[in-house]
Structure 1
Amino acid sequence: MIKTLFLPSLMAALLLALPMPGAAQDLVPRSRAEISLSFAPVVKQTTPAVVNIYASRVVETRSSPFADDPFFREFFRGFGATRPQVQNSLGSGVVLTGSGIVVSNYHVVAQADDIRVVLNDRREFSGRVLLADAEADLAIIQIEDAPADMAHLNLRDSDDVEVGELVLAIGNPFGVGQTVSSGIVSGLARSGTATGEGRGYFIQTDAPINPGNSGGALVDMAGNLIGVNTSILTRSGGSNGIGFAIPAALVAQFVAQAEQGHAYFQRPWAGISGQEVDAAMAETLGLSVPGGVIIASLHRLSPFAEAGIEVGDVIRAVDGQAVNTPPEMIFRMSVAGLGAEARVSYYRDGKDRETTVSLIAAPEDPPREPMVTGPDSPIPGVEVETVNPAVAAGQGLDTELRGALITDPGAIGGRVGLLRGDVVVAVNGIAVTDGASFEEVLKTARRQLHIGLLRGGRQLTLRLRL
């Protein structure tokens, strides 16, 4: 009886000890080299090129006893003496050339009066902004009196990056000092997910990113830069494992334009408006799967129109890369760069087609013609300019919008409610198409003014008695 029980138990134990066919096996390191595997070689290679950035600016603030009261501060706005106050920001940056060109985030150095760049070995240098762009949240900085042949990172083509790749995030979180965290690429083609002013197309990673990491490096296991850390998705303020990095392909275009002497990033102009194709729309169009950007309108000067694309076409890819949202399409155009020609794949009438689109800057047609309303105007001293494609692109306005952009409301205009950035589209029911027509219509007013405005995407009417 004892033997009968023992033998089956022994056989069961042996069967459990044997690996099952197709089952995963735990591997134990078999050599000293395997035991010592680590990220240390990559860290040693990359950290000298990651810097800390300290930026400061002086702002005028008012000391008022009502500043913290949500009711009375509106009545006492501007009350109290002004005093200068220094605002500081902390972030990271990545050296990209031996001559000391550094990439960081726009929000780290925005409007800074003084920029200090601190190297990995604690040497400090002054920095100046060569090119900055709030929309992409990128800034290119030149280190003043940079040491010869600085340590720098090579840019990898971010189009080759795949979900699941191991990555390291390097920066200065919370100001504790240079820190390295590891993770993987969690997602690609993330758009509309960043915080602050930055908008566009991002690489997602679960490598812990915290405040102070902004502008730091996201590197692959070969030590190449694949992205610049820019933001996190969080409710607590700390890292929840959802961070975003700006792809290196776009960073390369920023560096190229900075080296060409541009102070502002110049994006290719599409001259179109559109929306992503969802499941319901795909079924209506006869597409097997949702995807692409359907064209809703085309400006008469649009290079897409010149290439033969029409309203109702679905843009599916740019230079062989799929696009599913307008920000993705603009990203692909920006990566190609001004002056280039992009291969655009589109869908029309049940067929996939392809054309070549010239990537151009937004045209100054008609000329913006800045002007100031004269002393005989009901609102003298208002500075305006005609809204054209270049103005609309710079202000984030609709491609087809026509009107007069207020660049300075002047003393009287400011008192009656006009703001810088307002677009006047009508006065007393008469359409305003440019700066000149704005002044002409103003002069015809007698007893009242009804000024139709576009402000922050909303339509408003300013009513005044003369």
Structure 2
Amino acid sequence: MFRILLIVLGLSMAQPVLAETEVPQSQAEISLGFAPLVKAAAPAVVNIYAKIVTQGYDSPFAGDPFFRNFFQGLGTPRQRVQNSLGSGVILSPDGIVVSNYHVVAEASEIRVVTADRKEYDAKVVLADKDADLAVLQLQGAKDLPYLRLRNSDRVEVGELVLAIGNPFGVGQTVSSGIVSGLARTGGAGGSGLGYFIQTDAPINPGNSGGALIDVNGNLIGINSRILTRSGGSNGIGFAIPANLVEQFVKQAREGKDTFERPWAGMAGQPVDADLAHSLGLETPEGILISDLHPDSPFGKAGFKVGDVITQVDGLPVNSAPEMIFRMTVTGIGETAKFTRIRDGEATDIEVQMIEAPDSPASEPITLGDRSVLPGLRVARANPAVISHLNVPLSAEGVLVIDPGPYGARVGLQPGDAIIAINDQEITRTKDVQKALTDPGRWVQMDLMRQGQKLSLRFRL
């Protein structure tokens, strides 16, 4: 059986990393292994130093599991400096670098060191916690080596891959493996909103944000995390697909400061075997629509509650994260083709990808020092607010965006709907402001949380 030798064509430093596959012609060529590929791709993988300054308090109750929650914010204030180390990948000659959000989150200072030991100051231009991605711009960079993105939808299980990182500033590491799974959601930990390429290539500690490349030297994913029982690098690795990375870079180039996802305006559930049987489907596949917002683009395109969505642009979807991923890589302003099954018949329908409408006006208000809960931020429910808080589509009234330090202490949570304060009905954000200014010695707040009514009562 022939083995693959990767021979790098003549490249200048300003060219994307490319490679060509050829059949080895001699024993000497066979012994080279992945060396030519690594030599070509490694210069585009960098080390990231992030310094994070946090405000903490020295308290005698800090280590007590019971009392520490009652004395948060009390004690001697002190700044603490935390250092984070990780990897990143250069995606353009002018210094666009992509890494993980958890590597650079809330960093006050970021330094990037390239494979040839050049150092650059960097700033985060776009970051998103749910996707665990961050786009950085290197200051004063030009003519840098970079990797070319590959369409990750064309990646197949069984492909040879390399995981390249630059951890801890001690030099680059390379590990090899294969793609062992596609469309992995939730199993990598975190919020469960992720959508990953699964690989058995070991992802060494500090390799978060590094490159997962194919045998042609193209980037197919950004290494994110590893699922391991031992706590080491042996386990199942997860990489964020290149198609999502491409959308991040595109929005960063457009000057966006927050990552924008298309809004579905619907809720659904995976179709399992029992549900497929009740619906008369031959195989359990797709997502059953269980709720539609009146402004949903799916509703406007003709979808109804009870319809099943099985594909997006010809690619199967079997969970909400998969469909969100497919919509996201399509991009706002574009259209995607959804395969709908209704009464046993399959129909392809085009749906416009839109932002969540910020209508009617959300009227956000942050309560000031005159209020009994300063820092509490509330807004009227609309699609944009509902999407931001990830609350049910039926949410209405005034919602808590941020409880603030005092609101959190009395039990308020983001997404709570405020129904009444001291028996005064709340319908607008100004009602909250009025009710919490000189309310008396006691405050009672009637709330709706995750479909359940509850009351908070506290004394001033």
Fold match (TM-score > 0.5): yes
Q: Give yes or no for contact 2:373–2:407 (8 Å, CA) kept in 1.
A: no
Partner of 2:418: 425
**Cα distance in structure 2, aligned partners of 1:434 and 1:133:** 30
Q: Does 2:370 correspond to 1:399? A: no
Change (3 A) 1:198 1:252: farther
Paired residue for 1:363? Answer: 357
Deviation at 1:447, TM superposition (A): 8.7
Q: Which runs of 5+ in 2 are unaligned?
A: 4-23
1:95 matched to 2:95: no
Q: Deviations over 1:366-416 (max 9, x none)?
A: 1111235699988687542112111121222222211323345578x5487
Among 24, 33, 47, which residue is 2:42 paired with? 47
Query: What secondary structure sits across from 1:254 in the alignment?
Result: helix
How far the C-alpha of 1:321 sits from its partner, in A, is 0.9
Distance change in 2, residues 1:141/1:462 (3 Å): same
Which amino acid letter does the alignment assign opposite residue 276 of structure 2? A
Instruction: Measure how far apart 1:288 and its partner are.
Output: 1.2
Q: Quote how far apart the aligned CAs of 1:445 are.
A: 8.0
Return closer, same or farther for 1:373/1:156 CA change in 2, 3 Å cut-off. closer
Paired residue for 1:169, among 163, 171, 175? Answer: 163
Aligned AA (2:416): V
Q: C-alpha separation between the residues in 2 aligned to 1:152 and 1:456? A: 46
Q: 1:35 to 1:439 in 2, by over 3 A?
A: closer
The equivalent of 2:10 in structure 1 is none
- What do the CA deviations read for 1:47-69 (whole angstroms, capped 9, x no partner)? 00000101011112222343223
Question: Counterparts of 1:108-257 in structure 2 under 5 Å?
Answer: 108-146=103-141, 148-173=142-167, 176-197=170-191, 199-257=193-251
The 1:419/1:118 distance shift into structure 2, 3 A limit, reads farther
Alignment RMSD (CA, Å):
3.0
Give the 3-state SS of the residue equivalent to 1:301 in structure 2: coil
- State the Cα deviation string for residues 233-290 of structure 1 (Å, max 9, x = none): 1233212330100000010000000000001110000000001111110111111111
Tell me if structure 1 keeps the 8 A contact 2:386–2:395.
yes
Q: 1:37 to 1:362 in 2, by over 3 A?
A: same
Counterpart secondary structure, 1:162: coil
**For the Cα contact (< 8 Å) 1:205–1:241, is it kept in 2?**
no
Contact 1:405/1:423 (8 A) holds in 2: yes
2:54 aligns to what? 59
Richer in helix (by share): 1
- 1:316 maps onto 2:310 in alignment: yes
Paired residue type of 2:182: L
Partner of 1:17: none
**How far has the Cα of 1:44 moved from its partner?**
0.9
User: Where does structure 1 lack aligned partners over 5 or more consecutive residues?
Assistant: 1-23
Instruction: Note the 1:288-299 alignment, pairs <5 A.
Output: 288-299=282-293
Tell me how far apart the structure 2 counterparts of residues 240 and 54 of structure 1 sit (CA, whole Å). 25
Work out the CA distance in 2 between the residues paired with 1:330 and 1:431: 36
Shift, 1:194, TM fit: 2.2
Q: Secondary structure at the match of 2:417?
A: strand
Could you say if the C-alpha distance between residues 403 and 194 of structure 1 is closer, same or farther in structure 2, counting changes exceeding 3 Å?
farther
Change (3 A) 1:221 1:201: same
Query: Is the 1:422–1:453 contact (alpha carbons within 8 Å) kept by the matching residues of 2?
Result: no
How far apart are the structure 2 equivalents of 1:447 and 1:143?
A: 55
Residue in 2 that maps onto 1:68: 63
Aligned counterparts of 1:431 and 1:350: Cα–Cα separation in 2: 47
How far apart, in 2, do the equivalents of 1:395 and 1:53 lie?
Answer: 31
Call closer, same or farther: CA 1:91–1:352 in 2, change over 3 Å: same
1:258 to 242, 252, 256: 252
Aligned to 1:31: 26
**Secondary structure of the corresponding residue to residue 212 of structure 2:** strand
| Correspondences of 1:303-382 after superposition (within 5 Å) | 303-371=297-365, 382=376
Structure 1 residues 433 and 75 mapped into 2: Cα distance closer, same or farther (>3 Å)?
closer
Residues 449 and 70 (structure 1), Cα distance of their counterparts in 2 relative to 1, 3 Å cut? closer
Counterpart residue number, 1:82: 77
1:20-47 CA-partner distances (Å, limit 9, x unpaired) = xxxx999xx9932454240111101110
How much does 1:319 deviate?
1.0
Distance 1:261 1:456, change over 3 A: farther
Which residue in 2 is equivalent to 1:18?
Answer: none
CA 445–80 in structure 1, closer or farther in 2 if over 3 Å, else same: closer
CA separation of 1:241/1:414 partners in 2, compared to 1, >3 Å: closer, same or farther?
closer
Larger CA deviation: 400-409 vs 325-334: 400-409
The structure-2 alpha-carbon separation of the partners of 1:432 and 1:311, relative to structure 1 and needing over 3 Å to count, comes to farther
Using the alignment, how far apart are the partners of 2:206 and 2:451 within structure 1?
A: 33
After TM superposition, the structure 1 stretch with the greater mean CA deviation from structure 2, 258-267 or 381-390, is 381-390
Q: Identify the range of structure 1 (187-196 vs 331-340) with the bigger mean alpha-carbon deviation.
A: 187-196
